Amino acid sequence: MTNREMKSKVMRLGNRLAAQMDRRDAFVEAWRIVKAQAVSFPIRGVTVGSRQEALRRLAACEPSQVRVWTVPEPENPVDPNAVAVWVMVQGGRGVYRLGYLPKEQTALASVFRAASIRVLDGDIRGARVTLTI
């Protein structure tokens, strides 16, 4: 990534984060995230029954078999800023909405793209998503 591209991403992300926190802190956080080129956090809402089945199937798959993406849901009745995390397992094993990005992290979805997902434990208690530039 060129210096110009990096500055552009820091500015975009910093401005989005500034709506949720102190402006100076937002740009410090944006710089840290862009420099690392990734951020990871837990997916919310995975305890819903059908999502547990999706996590069980994901636990049996190789990471290279799973495609992950995020989708903003402006019509979501609970939170108009909600961003859903979707996964697709290659080989026709299904497309699932696993849950949502944490409320405080939704601004990141417009700057980053979902890159990988990791099921947290054998009891299928949750999963983490990694967003990359």
pLDDT digits (tens, 9 = 90+) for 119-129: 665 455 677 77
The whole-angstrom separation of Cα 14 and Cα 108 is: 10
From residue 37, how far is each of 9, 40, 108 by CA, in Å?
10, 11, 12
Q: Which residue has the higher pLDDT, 8 or 121?
A: 8
Which residue segment(s) compose the domain that 31 sits in?
A: 1-36
Name the domain count of the chain.
Answer: 2
Residues 3 and 42 in one domain: no
Please give the helix or strand (H or E) that residue 97 lies within, else none: strand 95-100
Residues 22 and 49 in one domain: no
Q: 38-85, pLDDT tens digit by residue? A: 788 888 887 776 777 777 777 777 778 888 888 889 999 988 988 888
